Structure formats: C-alpha cells, structure tokens
Amino acid sequence: MELNTAPRLLRASGRKGLKASKDLPAVERAGGDFGAGLIRGVSVITRGAALGHGGWIDGTFLDQVAFSANQRKLGIKSRFTHPGLSSDGMGTQLGRLKNATRDGDQVFADLHFAKSSHQTPDGDLADYVMSLAEETPEDFGLSIVFRSDRLAEQEFEAAHQEDYEVEDGRGKKETRSRFRSPDADNVENLPHYRLASLHAGDVVDSPAANAGGLFSTGGNAVAAEADALAAFCLGLDGAEKPATSALSAVHPDRLRAFAERFLKNHKLKLISEDDEMSKTIETKPADPAADPRQEFAASLKRYTEKFGAELGSQYLAEGLSYEQALEKFSAHQTAQLSAAQAEASEAKTRLAAASLGEQQPLPGGDAEKKAGSGKKGLAAVVRMK
C-alpha cells in the first residue's frame, strides 16, 4: 500500500561500528557530560544509499548532518531504537550526541549517556548499549531521524538532467530528459537528500539481530502488536487476529468493524503495491527508462520551447498531445495573422482618407481679385439708390 502523503520525518540507516582511537578508550563507563557513561566515535551516517527510502546520501548531506548536530549546544537526542507505531520514545532516551565530525564517507559523534538511561522502564539501557559497543562494535550504529529539504532536492535534480531518446511502437522517436546523479557510485540515480532539520540519532542493531530479539523490549512489543492489529483491522492477506496483551484495552473485532465502515463511507479501497504493478504491466508495457517526473519535465520543456511559456503550459495543462497542440497553435497563429492583416488594411484605408482633399486653394483675397479682373464686380452691378 502507498500513503497519499509523504512522511514528515525520515530515517536513514547509519554505518555500523565505532571510530578507532589509539589515544582514548571507545567506552567510558563513568565518563561523559553527565558522568553516566560515554561512547566515543559512534557511527552516525555514511555516504551511500539510504536503504528502504530510495534516496542517496552524498558528501553534501554528510556535511549538513555534522553541521546541524554541532549547532545545538545540548547536542542531538539519542534513543534506544526508533519509536514504534504506538510509542513516542518515552522511556527509551539514552542521552545526547555531541562533537560530530566528518571523516571521509562517514559522520561520527560522541554519545553522552544520561543518568536516567540506567533506570528506564525497560531496565539499564545505557549499560546494555555500552556492553554491546565493547563486545561487538561492528554491530553498533545509529540511524538518524531528519526532515528533508524538498525544495533543495528538486533544485538539485533539475540541475542534473540528461536528454535521452525513446521510440514508441510506431517507430516515432522522442527526446526526453531524466535525472543523472553526478555521483558515479549512485548507479541507480537515486534522488540526493538535502537536510532541512536533524531531530535524533537512535541506536539500532543489524536487522538479523533485531529480528532475533536482542533488542526486543516492552516498547517494541507494543509497536509489534499495533502493527499486527492494524494489518488485521485493514484485512490484509494473511493477517490473523492478534492477542493484544500490551494493547489489552483495544478490541480487535470492534476496531476492524470500524475500519471497514470508515473505508466504505469514504469510498476507499486498499490496493497492494504488487497488485497495482501487475495491472499496470498487463494493460501497458512499462518503459524501464521512463520516470513520470522526468517525462513531465521533458514534455514541459518541449512544449514551452515550441509554443512559448504561456501557451506551452496551457496546452500541457489541457492534456493536449503534441500533435493536437501543433494544430491548435497553427489555428492560433492563423487567427493572429488574420487579425493583423485586417488591422493593416484598416490602417491603410484611414491613411488614404487622410490624404484626400482640395488640390487648389479656395479663392479669397488676391486670388478673388484676380478672378474678377475680367468681369464687373458686385459693386459695379448693384447700385445703391
């Protein structure tokens, strides 16, 4: 299933392990700002693909993370795993991340444990994490929670476009544009992340160890139950009615009935991503090189270059094909030409009318005298009695 709106906060997996140090121990049980423990050189994030999010972490993003972490005097909060579906992180606070530095393709920071992290509802989490860091540092790492800067990401994508040619079933070729990552390692051309704000750096374990229960606590049990309950209520394939020990106040059958009524009243239907993809493949062969955003950008560029910014945008918004747009543009140009010709004809007529008039001056003054020199004037003919 796909959400209608993008999540407000994103999570990026960090590279596991601790930064080696010859001078200082990685773990100090009584060290740190609070005297409750310190782990130096915790891996925060590394350059590469953000697994599960379809984005790319580059050097610029690494610098932004390190800078943002160091901007806060108290550091960035750190928790014991990410908050679950039905938990907000309360009771899982470990401490603060400080002194972030970039070293090559990684960002490291120091984790200062709070005294309260030794007495949480789930036990001594600080001692557990420090033991993990001492015994198996290769399995230790952080996952940051951040808000991305969509405008900066879109600007970066627009600045790195390449043209490519496609051919339809009738042999007609068309030039389109698509994003091409400037990072040679980003072979899938994943969009590059840009940081708007950094919210947390949470301690995580490897997926295999997490599934085995090493990090299974009360908070995670609530999240797992909530996830199973949501799957049951929404009627997902294979979802069974869960035993809600952590969510004992919630009645699964009643909640499922509510979910069904809600979907029906709002005329909503759940469609799995796999089903939607299979329908798309059956009805229309997918172009592996096509990207809706890139296709739109290419179409907009083509239309505006041919018809101008105003008409091109208008034709595209009307859903006109390029051929239909050409016909409409031709009619528009013909109408403009006819109007211009009519205006020119009218102007010519006015100019001709303005140039008409008497070629000889009207008689008067000396001219009148000359005209009457051979005839008797009015005074000679009319005599006063």
Tell how far CA 278 is from the center of its chain: 26
* Cα 171 to Cα 290: distance, rounded to the nearest angstrom: 17
Q: So where are the chain's domains?
A: 10-149+197-216, 217-284, 292-349
Give 253's contacts (C-beta < 8 A, 6+ positions apart): 241
With a cut of 50, list the residues of the chain below it in pLDDT. Answer: 1-7, 13, 15, 85-88, 206-220, 245-246, 280-284, 286, 358-365, 367-385
* Residue 323, helix vs strand vs coil: helix
> How far is the CA of 327 from the CAs of 172, 320, 330, in angstroms?
18, 10, 5
Cα angle 30, 33, 39; round to 5: 60
Other Cβ atoms less than 10 A from the Cβ of 129: the count is 25
Which pLDDT does position 358 carry in this prediction? 44
Which pLDDT does position 207 carry in this prediction? 29
Side chain identity at residue 356, one-letter code: L
Strand order in the sheet with 141-148: 10-13, 141-148, 195-204, 76-79, 93-103, 106-113, 38-46, 27-28
Which pLDDT does position 353 carry in this prediction? 75
Other Cβ atoms less than 10 A from the Cβ of 352: the count is 9
Is 307 within 8 Å of 329 (Cβ atoms)? Answer: yes
Cα angle 202, 103, 93; round to 5: 15
- 209: which 2 tokens? 């160890």
Q: What pTM was computed for the model?
A: 0.52
Placement of tokens 């034709």 in the chain: 315
- In sequence order, the β-bridge partners of residue 195 are 148
Which pLDDT does position 37 carry in this prediction? 96
Other Cβ atoms less than 10 A from the Cβ of 284: the count is 8
Which pLDDT does position 237 carry in this prediction? 66
Q: What is the DSSP string of 174-217?
A: EEEEEE--S-TT-TT-PPBP-EEEEEEEEEE--HHHHHTTTT--
> How far is the CA of 7 from the CAs of 48, 143, 148, 266, in angstroms?
21, 16, 10, 22
Other Cβ atoms less than 10 A from the Cβ of 85: the count is 12
Placement of tokens 């990685």 in the chain: 26
Is 36 within 8 Å of 126 (Cβ atoms)? Answer: yes
* Residue 153, helix vs strand vs coil: helix
State the DSSP H helix or E strand holding residue 355, giving kind and residue range, or none if neither: helix 322-355
Nearest-CA neighbor of 61 among 181, 196, 201? 196
Give 66's contacts (C-beta < 8 A, 6+ positions apart): 100, 101, 102, 107
**Model confidence pLDDT, tens digit, residues 136-151:** 777 667 888 889 999 9
